[in-house]
Structure 1
Amino acid sequence: MKNNIREIRKHLKLSQDEIAKYCGVSRQTVNAIENAKYDPTLHLAFKLASVLQVTVNELFIFEEN
């Protein structure tokens, strides 16, 4: 699953550490999600979307296999 987290985060001038603190996860988790090495739980996906002021659909790009 691809995502737009990095682009949106940079547009809002937020660091990975700031996003992580707002979401209650580590900076490494945010990095892994941005690099498509980890798929967040639905709960975390909604937290990320809320912090980044977008919808989950705007944040993630769902691809069919």
Structure 2
Amino acid sequence: MLLIQVLWGLAQWALGMTAQTHLGAVGVLLLLVIGASIRARHTRLAVGAAVLFALLMTQA
């Protein structure tokens, strides 16, 4: 269980660094919205933010 949490934390950190490098604050904000909406069980918001994030990553 601890290993899964550590790996999840490392994955979030790596994805955040990638988004910050390529997209700046907008990418980090979209990742934050995705994470918060998944935890709050707002799937429409999570899907919308994920689509925007994917579109921005293809443009970067």
Coarse TM-score class (shorter-chain normalised): 0.3 to 0.5
Query: Which protein is richer in strand relative to its size?
Result: 1
Higher relative contact order (CA 8 A, sep 6+): 1
- The structure richer in helix per residue is 2
